[in-house]
Amino acid sequence: MSEPAADAETFLAATDTIAALRPELSLLEAGILAGLHLGLAADSRSFARIFGVEHALVLRAVEGLSGESLLTVTARDGRTQRTRYAASATGSAMLTALAA
């Protein structure tokens, strides 16, 4: 049996921790990293749908995280703009520290 998805409290706690570690990030950016860390979403469309956020805002936040070298864009659908992402080396190090 698979492990249940993280609950809202776990997601919010991870988001708050990331925001405290990197105060220059917006809460949406911290939430994207938390969602990736918790296995909730690894693409922009899924994150937008799960959390009820406009896809355009998520795309903008993903670009900001990519510019901060915390995420690496792995694929982009030209028609829908769905952007798949993964943690970069810097992002992985931060997320690993989060798990400790």
Going by pLDDT thresholds of 50, 70 and 90, the confidence category of residue 66 is: very high
In the numeric block, the tokens 């903008």 are attached to: 60
Per-residue pLDDT tens over the stretch 31-42: 999 999 999 999
Contacts of 47 (CB under 8 A, 6+ apart): 31, 32, 35, 40, 41, 53, 58
Res 3 pLDDT > 80? no
- Dihedral Cα 5, 7, 12, 14, nearest 10 deg: -50
Which pTM value belongs to this model?
0.91
pLDDT, tens digit, 9 for 90 and up, residues 73-84:
999 999 999 999
